[in-house]
Amino acid sequence: MKNRRSLVAANWKMHKTVGETVSFLEALQDRIEAYEDREVVVAPPFTALAAARQAMEGNKINLSAQNCHWEEKGAFTGEVSPAMLKDLGCDYVIVGHSERRHLFGETDEIVQKKTASVFAHGMVPILCVGEVLDEREAGRTFPVVNHQVERALDGLNCRLVPALVLAYEPVWAIGTGKTATPDQAQEVHSFLREKLSALFDKTIANKIRILYGGSVKPDNVDALMAQPDVDGLLVGGAGLEVDSFQRIVQYRFPGE
């Protein structure tokens, strides 16, 4: 049994109105319990964050934003600051998602600034790293994620690091129907934990939760979660429907 509390997060991306968000959360909360061994997180769009927080009852579900700016305030039209997200009651912020990197040109430097700023405002970053298909086929997965982790965590206060959530999302498996096999996911997660040990120490590395993200579905969740270094999941499309997300949240280990 893993000694890290797992985390299952639904990243809704640009989906769901306020009303749809409230309906989803009300239905999900009726179907799940407040787990001791796993944490459930949803990441609605900015427009639905306030309503989502109001709709959440007790401690069954925690709230994440999908992105933020790194500055607390300023002349940044269209951006949302960490201070604003904290004010709304966000617990987490997704940082460095592949769509932010590849569609919106976010650099490693920007991801590092956001990671530090999220921590500085009392929230926890869900830091995403991962390789594209060309990099995977060229055998460059490890160098790519190694570089991304090094840059994102550069200068980060060691006292904050154990709370970090790291998410490995192979870009070639996001929204494509392709999924890294459980062994492939474990291989990269194990590498990432060793990298964290080298950057900080083994004790810190063993506290950090590493999620897998990339076409996670009800039919592959159990095998993925059975891997020793897979501490949770960052779910895309399957997190938009209550039935499928409920099954993912209620993953089972072999023999259960």
pLDDT of residue 178: 77
Can you give the pLDDT at residue 98? 95
Local confidence pLDDT in tens for the 256 residues of the chain:
478 999 999 999 999 999 999 999 999 999 999 999 999 999 999 999 999 999 998 889 999 999 999 999 999 999 999 999 999 999 999 999 999 999 999 999 999 999 999 999 999 999 999 999 999 999 999 999 999 999 999 999 999 999 999 999 999 888 777 778 999 999 999 999 999 999 999 999 999 999 999 889 999 999 999 999 999 999 999 999 999 999 999 999 876 6
Out of 39, 69, 97, 121, the active site residue is 97
List the alpha helices (DSSP H) in the chain.
Answer: 18-31, 49-55, 82-88, 98-103, 108-120, 133-137, 141-152, 182-199, 202-205, 221-225, 242-249
Q: Which of 247, 129, 246, 131 is nearest to 196 (CA)?
A: 129
CATH assignment of 6-249, among 1.10.287.3510, 3.20.20.70, 3.90.1150.10, 3.40.50.300: 3.20.20.70
pLDDT at 256: 67
The 8 Å CB, 24+ separation contacts for 110-114 are: 110/70, 111/148, 111/151, 111/152, 112/151, 112/152, 112/153, 112/154, 112/155, 113/70, 114/68, 114/69, 114/70
Catalytic residue (one of 99, 131, 135, 169): 169
pLDDT at 173: 84
Q: What is the pTM of this model?
A: 0.96
Q: What is the DSSP code string of 169-205? A: --GGGSSSS----HHHHHHHHHHHHHHHHHHS-HHHH
Distance separating alpha carbons of residues 215 and 31, to the nearest angstrom: 23
Residues 6+ apart with CB under 8 A from 105: none
* Catalytic site includes residue 97: yes
State whether the Cα torsion 127-97-184-143 is positive or negative. Answer: negative
Task: Please report the pLDDT score of residue 60 as a whole number.
Answer: 95
Catalytic site residue 169? Answer: yes
